[in-house]
Amino acid sequence: MKKSVKTFIKENISFLILIIALFSVRSSLADWYDVPSGSMEPGIMVGDRIMVNKVAYTLEFPFTDTVLANTGNIEKGDIVIIDSSAADMRLVKRVVATAGDTIALQNNRLYINGERAEWTPSTNGEDLMVEAVAGHQRIIKVMPVEPQFPSFKRITVPEGHILVMGDNRNNSVDSRYYGFIPISEVQGRAFAVAFSLDKEDNYLPRSDRFFSALL
């Protein structure tokens, strides 16, 4: 004889509350995402499972897009998760410029508010550069292939938007393709790699990447 829904809920109430709480946390507080592409190499590798602080910028009511409170500002250099309507998919990119910033790209070199990005060869590997600009530095990958958009004229980021790019500069579909990103589409800030599986080596774990911070 089948149990009634009411009886089932009564007998499993503790477990159901735990499940709802876990999904509420993932919806509003913290989450993790698998990385399917190399657009953010070398900092984020294909197969990384990255941890995301979903309350870095806003607190949302669970399972909705209703903002309860603003909790922080998006800063240049942040790695953000974007639910992009233009791309019709989730993107993981680095914030290069925020509202009011003037930005240009000349022969693959960034200019932010008139400041030219300085490149210094990195000791961490071939095709890697330390890029320093606007008070922030990161390691970027500059593959020896011709980028589709090596330059664009000076533009100003409008209010309520950001401009993002991948750290793998010649292998990233980002604001050079999709334009400015509305802040409302930003889902949170990525801050660490939880664990990593090497898809080119039978999905073996990359133990050196477990619980490593993202810069």
Domain segments of the chain as ranges = 30-213
Which whole-number Å values give the CA distances from 129 to 139, 147, 176, 198, in the listed order? 6, 16, 20, 24
- Would strands 109-112 and 102-106 be described as parallel, antiparallel, or unpaired? antiparallel
User: pLDDT-based confidence at 1, cuts 50/70/90?
Assistant: very low
Residue type, 148: Q
Which tokens go with 95?
A: 């914030």
Task: Give the side-chain half-sphere CA count within 13 A for 14.
Answer: 1
Residue with tokens 């508010």: 113
How large is the average pLDDT for residues 36-51?
Answer: 93
**38 and 45 Cβ atoms separated by less than 8 Å:** yes
pLDDT digits (tens, 9 = 90+) for 147-206: 778 899 999 999 999 999 999 999 999 999 999 999 999 999 999 999 999 988 888 999
- List residues bridging with 89 in a β-sheet: 84
Task: Give the side-chain half-sphere CA count within 13 A for 90.
Answer: 12
Q: Look at residue 19 in the predicted model and tell me its pLDDT.
A: 53
Which tokens go with 129?
A: 């550069």
**139 and 124 Cβ atoms separated by less than 8 Å:** yes
Q: Taking the model in full, what pTM does it have? A: 0.84
**Rg of the chain taking only CA atoms, in angstroms:** 20
Q: Which of 81, 53, 50, 32 is nearest to 196 (CA)?
A: 50
- Which residues does 31 contact at the CB level (< 8 Å), separation at least 6? 51, 52, 54, 187, 188
Which tokens go with 50?
A: 């990255």
3-class DSSP assignment, residue 26 = helix
Q: Which helix (H) or strand (E) holds 71?
A: none
Q: Look at residue 29 in the predicted model and tell me its pLDDT.
A: 54
Which tokens go with 72?
A: 């922080």
User: pLDDT-based confidence at 24, cuts 50/70/90?
Assistant: very low
Whether residue 27 has pLDDT greater than 80: no
- Which CATH number among 3.90.1310.10, 3.40.50.2300, 3.20.20.70, 2.10.109.10 corresponds to the domain 30-213? 2.10.109.10
